[in-house]
Structure 1
Amino acid sequence: MTDGKLAVIGLGSIGSMALWQASRLTDSVTGFEAHAPAHARSAVGGDTRLFRMLYRGVPDLYPILERSRDLWAELEAETGQNILTRTGGLSIGTKDGPYIPPLLETTRTNGAEHEILSREEMAERYPQHNLRPDDIAVYDPHAGALRTDRAVTAAVAAAEANGATVHSNTPIESITETADGVVITSGEKSWTFENVIVSSGGWSQRLMPDYLKAATQTKRLFLTWFVAKNASEFIPEKFPVFSRVHDGRSMYGAPAVDGATVKATLDGRGRPTPNPDTVPRELSTAEIAETTETVTDFLPGLIPNIVRSDTFPDLYTKDGNPILGRFNEGSRIYVATGFSGGGFKNATGFGEIAANEVLGKRTFDGLDFIRPLRFSSRQPTS
């Protein structure tokens, strides 16, 4: 006898969605969270994350983005929560620089809807951005701001309504495959499940095999918020989410969803942290200086004083792509982690894939670039 068909360890961005999707497939699923769902120290923290259909990189991600967009709408309909605030989105950079051309190449490969805005058109439509003469923007009509806390708590509540069981404040310390299933332990308690999904974000390493530990690293991310000189210019209806790269500087942000503070934070500044439980909370002098200098340059309508900041751990992989799949062929342990600071927009889609695959309901092709075995010396041969 087992305690259920599936345990989901870690109910953050991906785990909460996997739990919700699994609860649609079986009433024998249990979620374990070391603290509480959407707790402030996880990578879920920080109010919002960007949802956008336009990006540089692997075109194979686009179908997952499309499915994720549909599933965000389904979660909203199922729970009555407003999770994705649709604002549109801007990708801003030099016309012939390192950001815009590859973004447009991926966008055109995917056939994603978009609009190219000249500097003059940007000045008319979105004057909040201080652009250089050779800057342009690519507008994404489907982009918006995901309300992270609301998304995770809604998914967990939806799963519980479907019959899932949730154990909060229950950190899982070990997982062991046996002939009967997978044994997981927390303190003096133990459970046995037919299958397990490890989706603990920055805390996943301790539960992973050595080959995945070697391919991953926990990093500290920081977020910053500012007050606008004229708040009405930065409301969601007027100020789309954005990502901007210029001359070695990169910043992304979201409108004032709380009516007061605008998120504007440096991108790509994650630094290694050995322990996700002891991530330094305070920003360094250098981090503050670079952030305020960039805000002064990019967004002169914001008062260049950080009024709020916070830091979070997330798990990064060597190639920047997530890890989604079983530890090895035939394993009952499935891992969904390593999203490298960019997984929230696809959380619903990745959660659906994980739930269906681990429960044997459906498999998904074309995902070799995110499978765990790409990091293993024991990769299957064709």
Structure 2
Amino acid sequence: MDGKLAVIGLGSIGSMALWQASNLTDSVTGFEAQSPAHGRSAVGGDTRLFRMIYRGVPDLYPILGRSRDLWGELEAETGQDILIRCGGLSIGTADGPYIRSLLETARANRAAHEILSREEMAERYPQHNLRPDDCAVYDPNAGVLRTDRAVTAAIAAAEANGATVHTNTPIDSITETEDGVVITSGDTSWTFENVIVSSGGWSQRLMPNYLKAATQTKRVFLTWFVAHDAAQFTPEKFPTFNRMYEDRSMYGAPVVDGVTVKATLDGRGAPTPTADSVPRDLTDAEIAETTETVQEFFPGLIPNIVRSDAFPDLYTTDRNPLLGWLSESRRIYCATGFSGGGFKNATGYGHIAAYEALRKQSFTGLEFVRPERFRTSQAKSVSQHSNSNLANPQYAET
């Protein structure tokens, strides 16, 4: 054995799983195909939003709370400022489905929040050009995560705890045996008791068929703008925002580099054949819709995109992650498919993955993220009777 646990892919979730695992054992090794926080991964783009108010599964709220605490622990352990605690706004039509669903989930979870009328919004946050029937839900626990800093800090903390890290080491195959899991990169192989697969958009090629059918790599693009007066868009004056209507949707973050404001169209992830084939340049249609939306929403921003980029992420058909064991022998653990929304919970999900993969603790109430929700009787039959149809037969169930 080369160790108790290998973590394949040290991006948003993998880096946090490595850090959390290193607090439990010094026999953990991380493998990264390129370099940590490289510019083509889903970590790219400087920042991600953290928020405690959202629409959807109520069971997500405890993970958000744990994630918030763990971001603070990572900051304390590494001395890095990672989470800028500036609050967050969700803006929409006062009686529309977006605000209504947000409030339903917030009240079900007893999440701290404040409802701001159009008049209160105009007074407190004049940067927003509001429609007559607008209102907002303010999340006092929201903020901005510095992605590159978070990932590199977590990996450094893991190494300080005794973890081993291999960079520029893409994994070619994963073979489960009765005694462990053999992973190979080129002519080199290692054997571990258990493995976590957390390679984001690159995870699909390592999946069994039933998960390949339930996932798709998508291209997510980001855009930034210069403000007429950057002082009006600092974290102290301009919280993160999510704004949604039937015909317009955008999210963004305050100035963290002293110059640019992130303002990006929401929900525009487009399918791409592979994580390596993501077009970085925006299309004319993407540029036009983005600038038109900024013109409507933010008169204080110059409506010219000064920076843009695009990144891959793995999406599931129900937009919930894949977090759990893949095989009946329970040696290969999946932590991927976060569908463009995983970074805020990266510490929480990394904690769950590390504790479960090392068999230190099992967590309940997570049926909405378990991979087996996508397993069908046909997939079971194929995996049990014929490995020949699997792109990676080593993942066949045993």
RMSD value over aligned CA atoms? 1.0
| Structure 1 contact 328–373 (Cα < 8 Å) conserved | no
In 2, the alpha carbon distance for the partners of 1:282 and 1:293 equals 18
Residue 13 of structure 1 corresponds to 12
Cα offset for 1:216? 0.3
1:329: Cα distance to partner?
A: 3.1
Aligned to 1:152: 151
Tell me the TM-score normalised to structure 2 length: 0.94
SS of equivalent residue, structure 1 residue 353 = helix
SS in 2 for 1:297: helix
Identity of aligned residues (%): 79
> Which residue identity does 2:252 align to in structure 1?
G
TM-score by length of structure 1 reads 0.98
Distance 2:130 2:328 in 1: 51
Q: How does 1:1-382 map to 2 (within 5 A)?
A: 2-378=1-377
Instruction: Using the TM superposition, give the Cα deviation of residue 247 of structure 1 relative to its aligned residue in structure 2, in angstroms.
Output: 2.8
Letter in 2 for 1:260: V
Aligned to 1:369, the other structure's residue is in SS state coil
Between 1:325-334 and 1:281-290, the stretch displaced more is: 325-334
Give 1:275 deviation, angstroms: 1.3
- Measured in 2, the distance between the counterparts of 1:109 and 1:225 equals 35
CA displacement at 1:173 relative to structure 2: 1.0
Q: Say whether the 8 Å CA contact 1:89–1:141 is kept in structure 2.
A: yes
Three-state SS of the structure 2 residue aligned to 1:202 is helix
**Aligned partners of 1:285, 1:98: CA distance in 2, in Å?**
30
Distance in structure 1 (CA, Å) of the matches to 2:375 and 2:163: 33
Give the whole-Å Cα distance in 2 for the aligned partners of 1:278 and 1:366: 36
- For the residue of structure 2 that corresponds to 1:212, the secondary structure is helix
Aligned residue identity for 2:186: G
SS of residue paired to 2:319: coil
Residue 94 of structure 1 and its aligned partner are, at CA, apart by 0.3
Helix, strand or coil: the match of 1:26? Answer: coil
Alpha-carbon distance in structure 2 between the residues aligned to 1:203 and 1:67: 27
Could you tell me whether the CA contact under 8 Å between 1:87 and 1:145 is conserved in 2? Answer: yes
> Whole-Å Cα distance in 1 between the matches of residues 330 and 376 of structure 2?
17
Note the alpha carbon deviations across 1:43-71, whole angstroms, 9 max, x for none: 00000000000000000000000000000
Question: Counterpart of 2:216 in 1: which secondary structure?
Answer: strand
Deviations, residues 280-306 of structure 1 (Å, cap 9, x unaligned): 010000000000000000111100000
For residues 238 and 214 of structure 2, the distance between their equivalents in structure 1, rounded to whole angstroms, comes to 38
Corresponding letter in the other structure for 1:336: A
Counterpart of 2:392 in structure 1 is none
CA distance in 2, matches of 1:336, 1:240: 30
Deviation at 1:249, TM superposition (A): 1.4
The aligned amino acid for 1:137 is A
Amino acid at match of 2:98: Y
What is the CA-CA distance between 1:328 and the residue it aligns to? Answer: 2.9
Q: Distance in 1 between matches of 2:96 and 2:327?
A: 41
1:331-376 CA-to-partner distances (Å, cap 9, x unmatched) read 2000000000000000000000000001010000000010000000
In 2: Cα distance, 1:368 partner to 1:260 partner: 43
What residue ranges of structure 1 are gaps of 5+ in the alignment?
none
SS in 1 for 2:23: helix
Gaps of 5+ in 2: 381-398
Q: Deviations over 1:187-222 (max 9, x none)?
A: 111111100000000000011111111110000000
